[in-house]
Amino acid sequence: MSHRIPVGTIDELLPGQRKLVFLDGRSIVLFNIEGVIHAIENSCPHQGASLASGQLDGCVLRCPAHGLRFDLRTGRMPGPGGLSVGTFLVQAVDGKLELQIDEPSSAASPAPACKGAAERA
């Protein structure tokens, strides 16, 4: 079963910013990429390192521990196969950001394309 949880306001997460939230025993990091909010599990599937401080290149986040790259739109590593992190749907409702919590899914509604490395990956 899914439910929506408020995680802040739109004004708190401006383009280029990120925010770490803890919900239902999960650590989740939200990113505002050119006005589009993406949310992923804050744990690299390789060895569990926090992804919150990873370097961004467009919509691609680099794990600070070992350099694995994940597309924030899908949660997957660029290219065929590879590891993936859970993604979450985030919606703006009356100026507030609401995160949908259910099973992590890389099948959330696709966000618009990001500029940068995502297209080169």
d(CA 101, CA 121): 29
**Model pTM score:** 0.80
Number of C-alpha atoms within 13 angstroms, CB side, residue 83? 14
User: What is the pLDDT tens value at each position of the chain, 121 positions in all?
Assistant: 678 899 999 999 999 999 999 987 899 999 999 999 999 999 999 999 999 999 999 999 999 999 999 999 999 998 888 899 999 999 999 999 999 887 545 444 455 556 654 444 4
119: phi > 0 → left, psi -120 to 50 → alpha, else beta; which? alpha
The total of structural domains in the chain comes to: 1
Sheet holding 69-71, edge to edge: 55-57, 60-62, 69-71
Residue-number span of the structural domain to which 54 is assigned: 3-120
Q: What's the confidence (pLDDT) of residue 110? A: 53
